[in-house]
Amino acid sequence: METIYLCIIIFLFVLAVFDLIVGVSNDAVNFLNSAVGAKAASFKTILFIAGIGIFIGASLSNGMMDIARHGIYQPEHFYFAEIMCILLAVMLTDVVLLDVFNSMGMPTSTTVSLVFELLGGTFALSLIKVNTDSALSLGQLINTDKALSVIMAIFVSVAIAFFFGMVVQWIARVVFTFNYTKKIKYSIGLFGGIAATSIIYFMLIKGLKDSSFMTSENKLWIQENTLMLISILFVFFTILMQVLHWLKVNVFKIVVLMGTFALALAFAGNDLVNFIGVPLAGYSSFLDFSTNGNGATPDSFLMTSLLGPAKTPWYFLIGAGAIMVYALCTSKKAHAVIKTSVDLSRQDEGEENFGSTPIARTLVRISMTLANGISRITPEGTKKWLDARFRKDEAIIADGAAFDLVRASINLVLAGLLIALGTSLKLPLSTTYVTFMVAMGTSLADRAWGRDSAVYRITGVLSVIGGWFITAGAAFTICFFVTMVLYFGGNISIIALIGIAVFILIRSQIMYKKRKAKGQANETLKQLMQTTDNEEALQLMRKHTREELAKVLEYAETNFELTVNSFIHENLRGLRRSMGSTKFEKQLIKQMKRTGTVAMCRLDNTTVLEKGLYYYQGNDFASELVYSIARLCEPCLEHIDNNFNPLDAIQKGEFSDVAEDITYLIQQCRKKLDSNDYNGMEEEIRRANDLNGQLSHLKRQELQRIQNQTGSIRVSMVYLTMIQEAQNVVTYTINLMKVSRKFQMETEMP
């Protein structure tokens, strides 16, 4: 029996390695967002500093894994077998859940996932125990206070972090302006002193308070002498930062890198329990059962020992730190999560990753009404003075950065202070919540959310916040059922669920690589957003347009052929796949139009007048092409799904021949677009005219059949729809090529 549980312990530690990797992938955004977004240093330098912070924080952590030992369940009422069932279910759920969020590039809270997984697993077994033992109650088995405190902390921390991020950044921008180099002659020393003191205070209160070298005497001394420490540090750093400024050192960069180190250290030291707490609790339980079991069975040995604290051996801590540093430096998913947060807070407009929702649109309208009301009662002189402090065209932003160093500094300092404050008030704040919402608040105060981007940014913020709450619900529900399956299924269920978890992780990696290869960030668009030269902007715009329209033609070629063949061969699955691709393509078309409009603003007025019409016509024809295929697929799908009569042999033969020629036309047009070579375009125009002529002939023939009352009217109507939409596909494809040629060529074509 012990052999089985030993295998479970080994597997728990294997899962812990995966959990450390996916956990760092998720939480890296907390301490890298500001430094990466402002390009305070090279990416390797930022990773190096954060890596040192992570390693030190993990190594100095005292390993007090109380939340996994007795934070949710009351271990004195649970047997060894039940505790192992809960812990295994928690780890299986946690690794898969975090990996799913990372694959989507969405940050979530590892604290929330751990707490609600433990709550779900404990609730499952508590129901069983209460049902079999009337002397027990749920209140005796579950510690609900911890979960409720986390839920309350979510609401409080989200609102407070966003509000203070907005207010403090607004004040900082009024003081420093966007052209901050002209306004920091003497104020920079004061700002640097406040920032550095706040960071050190944060490290002492949050980052190192539970470290192995922090004895109770040290903690007491720091607590009693906090004011003196802060005063000394403030004076020292104020003088130091002013001197460094006189020596031409960028104080803002120092503050950002210090803040990155501090947040990384705190993350590793305090969130380590989220990744290895459960395996260590299982390891401790196994040692207690093996040593003190005295012949007891796993179903009769109570785990009272988990009530006491346990110190983690140093080699576990160092090993965990090394794995976290490795994950930070190598994880592509970590970079994707960072990109989501940076994109939502960037200063300039660009490619928006999120769409528009009714809630976001309503919030924007309310905000605009409120802002207009405040503007009406604000004196004109005050408004002019404030506008002069917020001239974004004077912003000093590094090449390729999303925002400047002033905002990055505020992000890190304020996040550290709020987390330290929450810790001192015994609130279980999440670093993910606080750092993300501070970044959103500061970006709003910096007027980074313009009228053309606000609705998309708010949608993104709501999506991330919603993801946190989905994490809680999913963690609880999934772990509840996994625990039930493990409890009633025995060893077979353990093997089966482990196999399923491994399969999901492997499949997730494969799917992530495919999505990444298919949906890579458009480098051409990034270059276009950064250039200030009109001629370069035009060339990049042409290249970007070719890339986007070629994707549309590739979609059209694939899905037109798939739809026609699936309908002719009554392949319902193929039609559903085509319909799903069409819905996804519609969203991409909307995004293409949004980004194209923003990109066109990079061209001068003369170029826009000369080429703008062709660009917008090209987008419109691309949109119509996608919607034509949707209108073609929808009746075909409904017809086959209802098991109606298929096309007769004559109709299949006629349309198959024309469909092959249409697919070939789209293919040839895509090749010309890809190569930007429009020689022989007249041949494609002639071919398109011939195809439309053939389709018109088929339409007349079918109308004649209907008039002669031969064949099914229902089938004929679907067939006529197919002919009409096929004509639209041909027309929009060739029109797209005509306007694309006019947009791409330096001189007008006859």
Distance CA 91, CA 71 (A): 16
pLDDT tens, position by position, 483-530: 999 888 888 888 888 888 888 777 777 766 655 544 444 667 767 776
**How sure is the predictor about 57, in pLDDT bands with cuts at 50, 70 and 90?**
confident
**How sure is the predictor about 208, in pLDDT bands with cuts at 50, 70 and 90?**
low
- Do residues 468 and 97 touch, judged by C-beta distance below 8 A? no
Residue ranges per structural domain of the chain: 2-518, 524-744
For residue 308, how many other CB atoms are within 10 A of its CB? Answer: 11
3-class DSSP assignment, residue 61:
strand
For 253, the token pair is: 């960069």
pLDDT tens, position by position, 644-669: 888 888 888 889 999 999 999 999 99
Distance CA 358, CA 351 (A): 20
Render the burial of 143-165: b for 16+ CB within 10 Å, e for the rest: beebbeebbebbeebbebbbebb
What pLDDT does residue 395 have? 76
Per DSSP, what are the bridge partners of residue 73? 142
Distance CA 121, CA 229 (A): 45
What pLDDT does residue 271 have? 72
CA distances from residue 528 to 355, 394, 533, 620, 725 in whole angstroms, order as listed: 21, 19, 9, 22, 36
**How sure is the predictor about 349, in pLDDT bands with cuts at 50, 70 and 90?**
low
**How sure is the predictor about 749, in pLDDT bands with cuts at 50, 70 and 90?**
very low
pLDDT tens, position by position, 407-435: 888 888 888 788 767 666 655 567 777 88
Per DSSP, what are the bridge partners of residue 211? 61
Distance CA 739, CA 741 (A): 5
Residues in CB range of 558: below 8 A, 6 or more apart:
581
Per DSSP, what are the bridge partners of residue 79? 302
- At 648, the amino acid letter reads D
What pLDDT does residue 251 have? 87
Assess whether pLDDT exceeds 90 at residue 744.
Answer: no
- Do residues 135 and 404 touch, judged by C-beta distance below 8 A? no
Q: Which residue has the higher pLDDT, 66 or 590?
A: 590
Give one word for 220, left, alpha or beta, with left for phi > 0 and alpha for psi -120 to 50: alpha
What pLDDT does residue 726 have? 94
Distance CA 733, CA 203 (A): 61
For 620, the token pair is: 């419109």
Closest CA to 191 of 404, 347, 28, 406: 406
pLDDT tens, position by position, 211-270: 556 677 777 787 788 788 889 989 999 999 889 888 888 888 898 888 888 888 877 766
Lowest mean pLDDT among 59-68, 85-94, 97-106, 672-681: 59-68
pLDDT tens, position by position, 567-576: 999 999 999 9
- At 650, the amino acid letter reads I
Put simply, whether the predicted model's pTM sits higher than 0.85 gets the answer: no
Assess whether pLDDT exceeds 70 at residue 307.
Answer: yes
CA distances from residue 259 to 33, 280, 413, 434, 719 in whole angstroms, order as listed: 11, 30, 6, 14, 66
Distance CA 93, CA 117 (A): 7
The average pLDDT across 682-696 equals 92
Closest CA to 468 of 166, 156, 93, 151: 151
**How sure is the predictor about 288, in pLDDT bands with cuts at 50, 70 and 90?**
confident
Q: Which of the following CATH numbers is that of domain 524-744: 1.10.1240.10, 1.20.58.220, 1.10.3720.10, 1.50.10.10?
A: 1.20.58.220
